[in-house]
A and B are shown apart, each in its own frame.
Chain A
Amino acid sequence: MRTAIVAGILVLGLAAAARAGNGIGGFTYDISVPVGETGEFTRGTSFRGLGVEARWFRGEHTAVGFTWHWNVFHEQLDGTWQVKNGDVTGHQFHRVYSSPVLLTYYYQWGDARYGKGTMYYVGLGAGAYWIEKRLEFGTGVYQTTNWHIGLCPEVGLYHGLSFGAYLNLGVKYNHAFKSGDNTSHSYPSLCLGIAWVR
């Protein structure tokens, strides 16, 4: 089910990007570092992340759009883990699955038309983060799944490539606020992608 939802969003994103007039859209590969309460639960850099991004130019220096990303954090631990009124010992997997769907606003400058030049941007995303936090041991799972409100400032650039596409290099700081019984989550991401202008 989750895969179907993700694939559906991907297809919709592709379709939107393909039909967008006077805009830019593409994919990114994300490398993320969990910090804050996310980093306390699962440490280590995540190399499992990807995203779909599209934006439409709304003036000489501004654009609006959307992003969808999928980031996976996981860590294998051994030892004893303290729980309320007890302890659990064994191999454990700490995992966090994060899927932000954000509306974005950008200020951009430079020139990256027709596969040439470089365009720089700063932006802010706001929207919803679907986050699943799992502690797995043996056949047992403690799991919380929530929608969080979140913000994501970012900076980056598009650089024209020779074959008509654009290299996208961006740095984001994802922050999802606490929701229900799930903690807040934070992780900066380095996003490397390819994009096309229409």
Chain B
Amino acid sequence: MGNTCMRRSRLRRGLAGAGALAAVLVLLFSCSPDSGFNTVRDYDVVATFYDPEVDFTEFGTYAMPDTIVHFRDPADTASSDLSREYDDLVLDLVRTNLEALGYTEASDPIADPPDVYVVVWVTLSEWLANSSEDWQDMWDWYLPPSWGPDWGTYYPYPVEMLYRAGSIFIDMFNKAEVEEPEEPYIRIYWTGSINGIMVDTPGGAEDRLTDNINQAFEQSPYLATD
């Protein structure tokens, strides 16, 4: 009788322990919350960075290539090119926002060089941005004197982010540093990026592009020329 009671007691304790252990394990493996990103729009990120030493009120005119350059990591052989369906929309949005901030587009950039250049480009490869990157001769073709073959860009502020393929970048820099660079890197005064937006464009692409490009300028009021 006594042995039976002891066995039952041990059994109860064992079952209680096993139940508690199971509960703890369930908790353990469910205690890290999921990402919470459910739609393409949830992944939209607008990041802007600026050089604090630059006084943007000194600028008034800009020039912008009429083409969005597609950049691919030379080691990346898997990525395919992207549609240019939205290129005009993107360039128009950038142009509209710059003019709202007081910038005037140079009518003849060769005869009358602008204060700043604004270039728009897209990365076809996933890209971990650091404070300096090779320019990959992307702009050799644009406006004399163009970039030298060994020139790169230089961001004098932290912009370390992982960009997905299809991310848009809008970079602004001073023409003087293009014409007579003192170092092989072009110093970027302002950069705006929208992560991955040119790839994830099923439905609502125009709205997403409009909202996010406008947001890049909205959160950068210091760009205003006066």
Binding site for B on A (CB under 8 A): 3, 6-7, 10, 14, 26-27, 29, 48-50, 70, 72, 74, 76, 80, 83-91, 93, 95, 97, 136-141, 163-165, 194, 196
Determine the chain B residues whose CB is within 8 A of the CB of A86 once the complex forms: 47-50, 157, 159
Write the nearest CB–CB distance from A25 to chain B, whole angstroms. Answer: 11
Write the nearest CB–CB distance from B210 to chain A, whole angstroms. Answer: 14
Of B12-20, B109-117, B175-183, the one touching chain A = B12-20
Write the nearest CB–CB distance from A88 to chain B, whole angstroms. Answer: 5
**Which residue on B lies nearest to A47, using beta carbons?**
B31
Partner of B195, one of A26, A48, A49, A139: A139
Determine the chain B residues whose CB is within 8 A of the CB of A48 once the complex forms: 27, 30-33
Determine the chain A residues whose CB is within 8 A of the CB of B157 once the complex forms: 84-86
Of B38-46, B71-79, B98-106, B145-153, the one touching chain A = B38-46
Binding site for A on B (CB under 8 A): 9, 12-13, 16-17, 20-21, 23-24, 27-33, 35-37, 42-52, 157-159, 161-164, 195-196, 215, 219-220
Write the nearest CB–CB distance from A92 to chain B, whole angstroms. Answer: 9
A177 vs B52: C-alpha distance when bound (angstroms): 32
26 contacts between A and B (CB under 8 A): A10-B28, A27-B23, A49-B31, A50-B27, A50-B28, A74-B33, A84-B157, A85-B51, A86-B47, A86-B159, A87-B48, A87-B219, A88-B46, A89-B46, A89-B215, A90-B43, A91-B42, A93-B33, A97-B32, A138-B37, A138-B164, A140-B47, A163-B13, A164-B16, A165-B17, A196-B17
Contact (Cβ within 8 A) A139 B51: no
With contacts A85-B51, A91-B37, A194-B16 taken as known, whether A139 is within 8 angstroms of B43 at the C-beta atoms is yes
Contact (Cβ within 8 A) A72 B32: yes
A87 vs B46: C-alpha distance when bound (angstroms): 8
Partner of B20, one of A6, A27, A70, A80: A27
A140 vs B127: C-alpha distance when bound (angstroms): 11
Partner of B28, one of A6, A14, A85, A165: A6
A121 vs B103: C-alpha distance when bound (angstroms): 70
A14 vs B17: C-alpha distance when bound (angstroms): 11
With contacts A7-B28, A80-B219, A84-B158 taken as known, whether A90 is within 8 angstroms of B33 at the C-beta atoms is no
Partner of A165, one of B13, B162, B195: B13
Determine the chain A residues whose CB is within 8 A of the CB of B42 once the complex forms: 91, 138
Contact (Cβ within 8 A) B47 A87: yes
Write the nearest CB–CB distance from A81 to chain B, whole angstroms. Answer: 10
Determine the chain B residues whose CB is within 8 A of the CB of A90 once the complex forms: 43-46, 195
Q: Lowest 7 A-B CB distances belong to which pairs?
A: A86-B49, A138-B45, A90-B45, A85-B157, A48-B31, A89-B46, A87-B219
Determine the chain B residues whose CB is within 8 A of the CB of A49 once the complex forms: 31
A107 vs B48: C-alpha distance when bound (angstroms): 55
Determine the chain A residues whose CB is within 8 A of the CB of B37 once the complex forms: 91, 138
A84 vs B49: C-alpha distance when bound (angstroms): 8
Determine the chain B residues whose CB is within 8 A of the CB of A87 once the complex forms: 47-48, 219-220
A90 vs B37: C-alpha distance when bound (angstroms): 11
| A-B contact sample (12 more), CB < 8 A, given A164-B9, A164-B13 | A48-B31, A49-B31, A84-B157, A85-B52, A86-B47, A88-B47, A89-B47, A91-B42, A136-B35, A138-B164, A140-B47, A164-B12
Contact (Cβ within 8 A) B20 A26: yes
**Which residue on A lies nearest to B30, using beta carbons?**
A48
**Which residue on B lies nearest to A93, using beta carbons?**
B36
